[in-house]
Amino acid sequence: MGRPRKYPNPAKDSRFGEWTVVDEESIYDEQGCIYVLCRCSCGRECEIRVRNLYLGTSTGCRPCKDMYIAVIEDRDLRVKMLTRIRDIIGRCYDINDPSFKDYGARGITVYSEWLNDRREFLKYLITLPGWDNPSLELDRENNNGNYEPGNLRFITHSENCSNTRRAAKYR
């Protein structure tokens, strides 16, 4: 009996960035790394390492990745913003996400255009003041509102803590 797997095979049709899992059957390489067949939003198919899907280190094929680079050249800022987008979508749509109960289960959703095209989400975020300040956090102004145009802003951690359902009870 081998070690337990840290990353389970994603279900068919699961989305990870631009990748959609086409076949959930595992493919192993000579080092024991596990891959699944995925299709990029542009139509290219490729075997992608499962670990990289879950960690968000592979979000699409090289030409699509270059499109993200065209939006934000700075790698650290781009990765931070794409990680935020991945986390937002996860807590709204992935029932296994620990934060799902506070977001998706409450009916919080992501604007459909952004859900279908993360580049558009990224393009919108960089129009907001403070997007390039790593110390600021992305916040929904209306806590019961969705991730949609007009409801997002970048604020400090302390401001974000005061804009919660819990904090609203004590105001």
Please write the tens of the pLDDT for every residue from 22-80: 988 888 888 888 999 999 877 889 999 998 888 777 888 888 778 888 898 888 888 88
User: From the centroid of its chain, how far is CA 130?
Assistant: 20
Burial class of 38 by CB neighbour count within 10 A (0 to 12, 13 to 18, 19+): buried
pLDDT of res. 65? 79
pLDDT of res. 145? 96
Burial class of 91 by CB neighbour count within 10 A (0 to 12, 13 to 18, 19+): buried
Domain positions in the chain: 1-65, 72-170
Please write the tens of the pLDDT for every residue from 113-170: 998 788 899 999 999 999 999 899 999 999 999 999 999 999 999 998 887 766 445 4
Please write the tens of the pLDDT for every residue from 88-122: 988 998 888 899 999 999 999 999 999 878 889 99
pLDDT of res. 168? 46
Q: Is the pTM here over 0.75, yes or no? A: no
